Amino acid sequence: MITISVALVAVLFLMGALAGTLGALLGLGGGIFLVPFLVLVLHVPMHLAVGTSLTTVIATSTVVSAGRLGRQLVNLRLGMLLEVATTLGGLTGGVVAATIPPHVLQRVFGVVAGISALMMFRRLDRRNVILDPSADPGRLGGRYHEDESGGEVTYRVKRIPVGMGVSFVAGSISSLLGVGGGIIKVPALNGWCGVPLRAAAATSAFMIGVTATTGAIIYYGRGDIVPWMSASTVLGVLLGSRLGMAVSEKARAKPLKLLLAIVLCFVCVLMFVRAR
Amino acid sequence: MSTPAVERLEHLLGIVLHAGAVASTTLLAVGLLLLMVAPSHPWASWATTAGLLILIATPVTRVVTSVAQYAVERDWLFVTLTAMVLVVLLGSLLVARG
């Protein structure tokens, strides 16, 4: 059991802030950096690190989506449909996590986060846009106003079963590893299901909150979420991601993203090697 | 897709998420400060735990709101889908208690 101290609260807050900033700069959540920080630097047990991280995922999703709703960027109908799969995955992952020894879970984290980092290097910005504004987006498609082009963007959603399958996997990984799972959903929704990158990212960020909640409820029940630890990191991550988003909006710094992806790879290798 | 129904739902969910975010972060911050300066204060751990529970309850409330709003619109397919999410959430509560 870790006992509370002012120093530890400060360290957790700063780690949350750093993870939130780095995550937002890469367009990811804070979890992918937070879990390694907690495990490698503070030697927090893996399951406690995952539980703590899940609460920061909920907080980020809630705050980000609260600011975004009302602009039709979040595809609510698609989100509500895919949530059936992500939450089922989250429940499954939460049940399975208890049966996996911490060092194995840590290795799995290393591998999954490593794959995510590699995907960062080759993220394709495919546009799936129907330019005719009178086009029918269908039952699940969407339409939103794009600030850059000043026009309406319309899209249809394809390959729903694929989207459901990927969402289930993303949900399981969320509960197993304490991440949001956007790194898996966003490229899949964008590349395979025809959802424009922006709408895919906004819809994914919206879904991540309820997905992480299925995991968080289970981890809380097992005592793997400690209120004061979550409070410190949640407040840090919220501050950090706000900072990161402000920076990334101003500078579209490709070299910085490349550097961070390399840092992420390094962290993943450490997570794998240091697993005991 | 910018129908009045969609706009109303977005508006409602925005309110739920915003209220949850403000309430939980305020309680977490107050609780954490109290835990550091006056750990024996009866509100210290109460506020921290309440903040955490509100944080976890916010997405659940968001799903409940969606079920209710789709029911008002008589959109039964989406009532079913959002109710399924609610059932999964209840499932994780059962796992946590069991």
Residues of A in contact with B7 (CB under 8 A): 70
Chain B contact for A224, CB < 8 A?
Answer: no
Residues 13-52 of chain B whose Cβ lies under 8 A from any Cβ of chain A? 13-14, 17-18, 20-21, 24-25, 28-29, 31-32, 35-36, 39, 45, 48-49, 51-52
Give the position of tokens 């546009």.
A127
> Does B62 sit within 8 Å of A235, measured CB to CB?
no
By residue count, chain B amounts to 98
Q: What's residue A87's pLDDT?
A: 97
Residues pairing with B81 in the sheet: none
What is the pTM assigned to this prediction? Answer: 0.91
Q: What is the distance in angstroms between the CA of the first residue and the CA of the last residue of chain B?
A: 42
Interatomic CA distance for residues A16 and A34, integer angstroms: 6
Residues of A in contact with B78 (CB under 8 A): 77, 80
Query: C-alpha angle with apex A130: A127 to A134, nearest 5 degrees?
Result: 155
How close B72 comes to chain A (CA, Å)?
16
Q: A34-48, A115-129, B7-21, B73-87: which has the minimum mean pLDDT? A: A115-129
> Does A55 sit within 8 Å of B55, measured CB to CB?
yes
Residues of A in contact with B45 (CB under 8 A): 227-228
How close B97 comes to chain A (CA, Å)?
6
Residues 46-85 of chain B whose Cβ lies under 8 A from any Cβ of chain A? 48-49, 51-52, 55-56, 58-60, 62-63, 66, 78, 81-82, 84-85
Interatomic CA distance for residues B18 and A233, integer angstroms: 20
Name which residue leads in pLDDT, A124 or A175.
A175
Residues A120-137: tens digit of each pLDDT: 666 544 445 555 555 667
pLDDT at residue B84 tops 60: yes
Sorted by sequence, the CB contacts under 8 Å of residue A271 that are 6+ apart come out as A35, A36, A39, A40, A106, A107, A109, A110, A113
Average pLDDT over residues A161-175: 94
Q: A92-106, A134-148, A212-226: which has the minimum mean pLDDT? A: A134-148
Phi-psi region of A270 (alpha: psi -120 to 50; beta: other; left: phi over 0): alpha
Give how many domains chain B has, as a whole number: 1
Q: What's residue A143's pLDDT?
A: 78
> Out of B28, B85, B92, whose CB is closest to A218?
B92
Long-range CB contact pairs, A149-158, < 8 A, 24+: A153/A129, A153/A196, A153/A199, A154/A129, A154/A130, A155/A128, A155/A129, A155/A130, A155/A194, A155/A195, A155/A196, A155/A199, A156/A130, A156/A194, A157/A75, A157/A78, A157/A193, A157/A194, A157/A195, A158/A192, A158/A193, A158/A194
> Does B28 sit within 8 Å of A209, measured CB to CB?
no
Whole-number average pLDDT of chain A? 86
Q: What's residue A83's pLDDT?
A: 96
Residue ranges making up the domain that contains B93: 3-97
Among B17, B45, B82, the residue to mutate for chain A (most A Cβ within 10 A): B17
DSSP of A118-180: HHHHT-------B--TTS--TTT-EEEE-TTT-SEEEE----HHHHHHHHHHHHHHHHHHS--
pLDDT at residue A252 tops 70: no
Q: What's residue A244's pLDDT?
A: 85
For residue A69, the surrounding DSSP H or E stretch is none
Residues of A in contact with B35 (CB under 8 A): 4, 9, 228
Q: A61-75, A167-181, B66-80: which has the minimum mean pLDDT? A: A61-75
Q: What's residue A132's pLDDT?
A: 54
For residue A15, the surrounding DSSP H or E stretch is helix A6-25
> What is the pLDDT confidence band of residue B97, given thresholds at 50, 70 and 90?
confident
> Does A74 sit within 8 Å of B81, measured CB to CB?
no
